[in-house]
């Protein structure tokens, strides 16, 4: 391993030790490897039971937008717990959820008329699919039942959410559970990966819109309920934006065939990129029919997700059956709503748009400066707001064990920050990324530390790959 250029002890960080820890086998996690047990959080730092500390540069899973320990949010959660406990939404509403819904709708610039609160992102996507289906049913159309998603996308782990998404690794071993009559997929929309030589971004967007049009016609427009996509693709490609003119062109196709537009902003929404919704920044004025949000909505203080429904959808329900035929035990849980309202008020009233735009500039500039000249290993640096990815490459990278993304993640952790390493962000299984989604409360100095360490981890893995002779770095 190449020498460590970042002096982690000076930064007050220490690497988590291999845990001789209190971790039991009783809690089932994604990995069977024992990982350190966190015992304390504060600001942007996580402390483990061996005393080591890391910066959570990933904000958990792009969740902790205000970092840890915000006393206003904590107090709001405690107060609501004292004031009004669990109320079953099948019987009554509750004042905290009423306040949160009013606040969100008031700040949605007329795009939405209703909001439905559920527990997490996957539930939220399931609810969007059902609401899209119910919209057509309310209109007397019972044939529209199919959903078109996009390749290299992730919408959650429940079966329908997994089905409308498409990612070879995430689907294993569940691919056979997907009902291929109900779900189909068009190409991912990422110019860096899939634009053809000589093709402009606009031409590429036209090609993608033509493909969607052809897919709807193949299935029969009378059977297609909705097109579902991530305006900014989260972990499946890594902070990936669509080509210019994409929104306008796919919206025209959806309108032509009476197909609803559903945006999954679970990871990129609720101020992650500086605005309440990412489509407000990159959506070319297009208004979706339904938007799924979660993560930064509750900021990690409470589990909550929200379906935003446009006036068109709400009118169809109100003028139709009047009943939204979907609910969960924890729908509209007041304590979660109170926490989310506190988070959202801080983001709205605290001038976070400007702050996030400034941090966005800093992240882009720092990563590009620190990784300049490494084009033999750094395939792309991309991002918006507080969601960024460094894509790395090496010849034969698919066969690397561990994969490059995992190596950067591990190295970054050794240097004191949590980043997310992902493998297979290109359809052919190539492509590795390291992602950060840092909290919006980061100071300039903290952000500098995060970006410098991430860049150092990338450089160290590049050196390691060269030294191992697995491939000749630079031959790509
Ligand atoms: C874009 C996107 N959609 C849906 C989900 C699923 O959310 P959850 O894990 O809360 O079910 C995620 C989770 O990472 C996501 O990134």
Task: Identify which of 466, 461, 359 has the alpha carbon closest to the alpha carbon of residue 404.
Answer: 461
> Cβ neighbours of residue 103 under 8 Å, at least 6 residues apart?
341, 344, 345
- The per-residue pLDDT for 390 is 98
Asked if pLDDT for residue 428 goes beyond 70, the answer is yes
- The per-residue pLDDT for 18 is 54
Tell me how long the chain is. Answer: 476
The dihedrals phi and psi of 115, each to the nearest 5 degrees, come to -140, 140
pLDDT bin (cut points 50, 70, 90) of residue 16 is low
Q: How far is the CA of 129 from the centre of ligand 1 (A)?
A: 15
Ligand 1 binding pocket (C-beta < 6 A) is 61, 120-122, 125, 154-156, 230, 234-235, 264, 266-267, 294
Asked if pLDDT for residue 99 goes beyond 70, the answer is yes
Strands 290-293 and 260-264: what pairing? parallel
- The per-residue pLDDT for 10 is 44
The dihedrals phi and psi of 280, each to the nearest 5 degrees, come to -65, -30
pLDDT mean over 136-146: 97
Report if pTM > 0.85: yes
Strands 45-48 and 53-55: what pairing? antiparallel
pLDDT bin (cut points 50, 70, 90) of residue 2 is very low
- The per-residue pLDDT for 27 is 81
Mutate which of 234, 236, 300, 437 for ligand 1? The one with the most ligand atoms within 8 Å of its CB, which is 234
Kindly report, residue by residue over 414-424, the tens digit of the pLDDT.
999 999 999 99
Give the residue, by CA position, lying nearest to ligand 1 atom 4: 155
pLDDT mean over 229-236: 98
User: Helices 311-318 and 121-138, interaxial angle, to 10°?
Assistant: 60
Helical residues (DSSP H) of 299-351, grouped into ranges: 311-318, 334-349
Kindly report, residue by residue over 247-294, the tens digit of the pLDDT.
999 999 999 999 999 999 999 999 999 999 999 999 999 999 999 999
| Helix, coil or strand: residue 124 | helix
> Cβ neighbours of residue 439 under 8 Å, at least 6 residues apart?
44, 56, 59, 64, 65, 66, 67, 386
The dihedrals phi and psi of 468, each to the nearest 5 degrees, come to -70, -15
Selected residue with higher pLDDT from 470 and 336: 336
Asked if pLDDT for residue 471 goes beyond 70, the answer is no
- The per-residue pLDDT for 30 is 76
Asked if pLDDT for residue 475 goes beyond 80, the answer is no
Structure tokens at 182: 């109900």
- The per-residue pLDDT for 15 is 56
Q: How far is the CA of 142 from the centre of ligand 1 (A)?
A: 29
pLDDT mean over 168-181: 87
Residue 263's DSSP bridge partners are: 229, 291
- The per-residue pLDDT for 28 is 82
* Residue 415 near residue 6 (C-beta atoms within 8 A): yes
Q: What is the C-alpha to C-alpha distance for residues 444 and 44, in angstroms, rounded to an integer? A: 13
Give the residue, by CA position, lying nearest to ligand 1 atom 2: 155
Q: How far is the CA of 322 from the centre of ligand 1 (A)?
A: 29
Per the rule left: phi > 0, alpha: psi between -120 and 50, beta: everything else, 86 is beta
- The per-residue pLDDT for 167 is 86
Kindly report, residue by residue over 282-336, the tens digit of the pLDDT.
999 999 999 999 999 999 999 999 999 999 999 999 999 999 989 999 999 999 9
C-beta atoms surrounding 16 within 10 Å: 23
pLDDT bin (cut points 50, 70, 90) of residue 13 is low
Structure tokens at 68: 């840890």
pLDDT mean over 433-461: 98
With residue 455 as reference, give the H or E element that holds it: helix 444-468
Task: Identify which of 268, 177, 197, 258 has the alpha carbon closest to the alpha carbon of residue 229.
Answer: 268
Task: Identify which of 159, 130, 163, 140 has the alpha carbon closest to the alpha carbon of residue 290.
Answer: 130
Please state, rounded to an integer, the average pLDDT across all residues of the chain: 93
Helical residues (DSSP H) of 86-197, grouped into ranges: 95-106, 121-138, 159-164, 168-171, 191-194
Task: Identify which of 146, 153, 155, 221 has the alpha carbon closest to the alpha carbon of residue 184.
Answer: 146
Asked if pLDDT for residue 66 goes beyond 60, the answer is yes
pLDDT mean over 101-130: 98
Asked if pLDDT for residue 9 goes beyond 50, the answer is no
Give the residue, by CA position, lying nearest to ligand 1 atom 6: 156
Q: What percent of the chain is modeled with pLDDT above 90? A: 84
R_g (Cα) of the chain, nearest Å: 22
């Amino acid at each position: 391993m190449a020498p460590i250029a970042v002096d982690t002890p000076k930064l007050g960080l220490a690497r988590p030790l291999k845990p001789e820890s209190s971790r039991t086998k009783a809690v089932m996690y994604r990995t069977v490897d024992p990982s350190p047990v966190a015992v304390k959080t504060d600001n942007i730092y996580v402390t483990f039971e061996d005393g080591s500390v890391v910066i959570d540069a990933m904000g958990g899973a792009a969740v902790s937008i205000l970092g840890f320990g915000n006393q206003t949010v904590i107090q709001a959660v405690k107060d609501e717990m004292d004031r009004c406990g669990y109320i079953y939404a099948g019987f009554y509403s509750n004042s905290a959820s009423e306040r949160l819904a009013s606040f969100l709708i008031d700040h949605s610039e007329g795009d939405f008329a209703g909001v439905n609160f559920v527990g997490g992102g996957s539930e939220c996507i399931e609810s969007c699919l059902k609401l899209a289906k119910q919209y057509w049913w309310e209109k007397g159309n019972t044939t529209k039942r199919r959903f078109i998603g996009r390749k290299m996308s992730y919408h959650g782990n429940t079966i329908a959410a997994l089905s409308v998404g498409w990612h070879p690794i995430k689907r294993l071993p569940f691919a056979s559970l997907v009902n291929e009559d109900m779900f189909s997929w068009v190409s991912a929309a990422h110019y860096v990966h899939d634009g053809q030589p000589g093709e402009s971004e606009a031409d590429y967007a036209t090609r993608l819109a033509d493909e969607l049009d052809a897919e709807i016609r193949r299935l029969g427009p009378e059977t297609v309920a909705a097109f579902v996509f991530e305006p900014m693709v989260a972990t499946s490609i890594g902070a990936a934006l669509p080509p210019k003119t994409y929104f306008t062109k796919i919206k025209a196709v959806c309108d032509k065939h009476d197909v609803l537009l559903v945006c999954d902003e679970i990871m990129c929404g609720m101020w992650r990129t500086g605005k309440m919704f990412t489509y407000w920044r990159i959506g070319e004025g297009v208004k979706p029919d339904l938007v799924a949000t979660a993560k930064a909505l509750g900021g990690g203080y409470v589990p909550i997700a929200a379906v935003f429904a446009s006036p068109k959808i709400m009118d169809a329900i109100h003028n139709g059956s009047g009943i939204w035929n979907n609910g969960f035990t924890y729908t509209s849980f007041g304590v979660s709503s109170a926490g989310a309202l506190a988070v959202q008020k801080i983001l709205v009233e605290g001038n976070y748009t400007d702050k996030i735009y400034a941090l966005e500039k800093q992240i882009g500039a720092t990563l590009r400066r620190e990784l300049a000249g490494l084009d033999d290993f750094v395939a792309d640096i991309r991002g918006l707001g507080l969601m960024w990815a460094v894509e790395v490459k090496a010849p034969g990278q698919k066969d690397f064990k561990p994969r490059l993304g995992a190596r950067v993640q591990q190295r970054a952790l050794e240097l004191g920050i949590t980043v997310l390493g992902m493998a297979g962000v290109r359809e052919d299984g190539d492509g590795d990324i390291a992602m950060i989604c840092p909290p919006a409360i980061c100071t300039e100095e903290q952000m500098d530390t995060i970006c410098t360490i991430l860049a150092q981890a990338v450089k160290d893995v590049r050196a390691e790959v060269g030294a191992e002779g697995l491939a000749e770095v630079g031959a790509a």
